[in-house]
Amino acid sequence: MKTLQEKGIIRDQVFGCHLATLCKREETTIPNFVRQCLKNVEERGLEADGIYRVSGNLATIQKLRFLVDQEEKLNLDDSQWEDIHVVTGALKMFFRELPEPLFPFCFFELFVEAIKTQDYQQRVQSIKKLVSQLPKPNHDTMKVLFRHLQKIIAKASENLMSTQGISIVFGPTLLWPQFDTGNMAVHMVYQNQIVELILTEYSEIFGPTDE
């Protein structure tokens, strides 16, 4: 008997799926849902006050998540997703629910050691080298996400989101250790610093943008 998934009645989920598995299924290196969210935010949310920091309605975010997992077609311009904080909330949820974070577990300690480097230029080069060694889906998704976050920061006078503000939101969303060693407060400092450095040194770490 064919499974319901094989018949196409139940779709493979998007949320909670391994990044590599999802990208392979979609034949891409950047999940379609991530691309759609970034595009939507850039079209109508760059100047929204507290973008990514402000929480959207959780019930609506869960509704969006359910739709993404059940249907192929997603229209983020639909009036039910009018609140841009619902779109950003769903995107953050997508990254938090990855079984392995965007910064893979085996890289966590390496990034932490790199960010502790005293010499600033050496620190940047260490982070750059680690980013270049990431699996392609992680690298490519990170590249478009951080480029997007740079666009948010460029509008800080309107949206009040500084590099530091974005880093505080995305540090714990994009990297965490595989095992809780009880050092969460210490880890959080490094998580934020790693994200902040990559945002600040984006062009050095990823090379010139295509735009």
| Residue 4 CB burial class (10 angstroms; 0-12, 13-18, ≥19) | exposed
CATH of the domain at 62: 1.10.555.10
The rounded distance, in Å, linking the Cα atoms of 138 and 62 is: 25
Quote the number of domains for the chain: 1
pLDDT at 179: 85
168 lies in some domain = yes
Sign of CA dihedral 167, 173, 179, 182: positive
Residue 65 has pLDDT above 80, yes or no: yes
104 lies in some domain = yes
pLDDT at 113: 96
**Domain range enclosing 25:** 4-206
pLDDT tens for 88-131 read: 999 999 999 999 999 999 999 999 999 999 999 999 999 999 99
pLDDT at 73: 84
Residue 5 has pLDDT above 70, yes or no: no
Q: What is the mean pLDDT of residues 145-157?
A: 98
171 lies in some domain = yes
Using only the alpha carbons of the chain, give its radius of gyration. Answer: 17
State the helix-helix crossing angle for 163-174 and 84-96, rounded to 10 degrees.
Answer: 40
Residue 58 has pLDDT above 50, yes or no: yes
Angle 55-57-63 from CA coordinates, rounded to 5°: 125
Comparison of pLDDT for 175 and 72, the residue scoring more: 175
> At a CB cut-off of 8 Å and minimum separation 6, what does 139 contact?
29, 131, 132
Q: What is the mean pLDDT of residues 121-142?
A: 98
pLDDT at 180: 77
31 lies in some domain = yes
Q: Which of 148-157, 182-191, 194-203 has the lowest mean pLDDT?
A: 182-191
3-state secondary structure 25-49: HHCCCCCHHHHHHHHHHHHHCCCCC
CB 19 within 8 A of CB 31: yes
211 lies in some domain = no
Q: Using CA atoms in the order 32, 33, 34, 38, what is the torsion angle rounded to 10 degrees?
A: 100
Residue 29 has pLDDT above 70, yes or no: yes
Q: What is the mean pLDDT of residues 163-178?
A: 96
Q: What is the mean pLDDT of residues 135-161?
A: 98
| Residue 105 CB burial class (10 angstroms; 0-12, 13-18, ≥19) | middle
Q: What type of residue is 68?
A: V
